[in-house]
Structure formats: structure tokens, C-alpha cells
Amino acid sequence: MTRPAPRSATALYAIAATCAAIGALLWVRSQASSSRSYGSFLAADSYTPSAWRVWSPAVPEDRLGLYLLAAGLVLTVAARLVSVWRD
């Protein structure tokens, strides 16, 4: 019988999934706004690019999205290591 994952691993998985989801949405949003042919399929993206910034101007949204995707991947690996280490 398999033991359930520890709470710390579950929390890390949840944080990793959240980071990855937000990162993917930011990356898709930046890609959609850079090409006008796909920019109209999201009703929420009907704003001008300078109207709302997620991050500082020094880090573009596509790069922030990739950073969050990478953080989600690292946290997933860490959660897996925690769950294996606890067994």
C-alpha cells in the first residue's frame, strides 16, 4: 500500500502548478499581443499594451512567463524529491 504524499510535497505541487499556469498564461498573452492575427481571440486582451503592466518595464511579460514556467518546473522536481525523501 502506498503512503500519501506529505503535506509539504502537496503544497509544493500546488505552488508549482500555480506558477506554471500563470507563467503559461503570461507567455501566451505576450505572444498573442505581439501578433495581431491571434490578438483578437481573447476578449480580455482588448486593451492597449501600455494600459496594464504585470511586472516592471525591465522584465517583459514573455520573459516573466518563462521564468514562472521554469520556477514551476523546479518546484515540481523539488516536490518529487521531498515525497521520495520522506518515504
The residue ranges of every structural domain in the chain are 7-36+58-86
Give the end-to-end CA distance of the chain in Å, rounded to a whole number: 12
The model scores a pTM over 0.75: no
CB atoms within 10 A of CB 59: 12
List Cα–Cα distances, 45 to 32, 33, 55, 77, 83, in angstroms: 9, 8, 16, 33, 39
DSSP type of residue 75: H
Q: What pLDDT shows up at residue 1?
A: 46
pLDDT digits over 30-83, tens only? 887 666 554 455 555 555 555 566 667 788 888 888 999 999 999 999 989 988
Q: What pLDDT shows up at residue 4?
A: 65
Question: Where is pLDDT greater, at 75 or 4?
Answer: 75
- CB neighbour list of residue 68: distance below 8 Å, 6 or more residues apart: 19, 20, 22, 23, 26
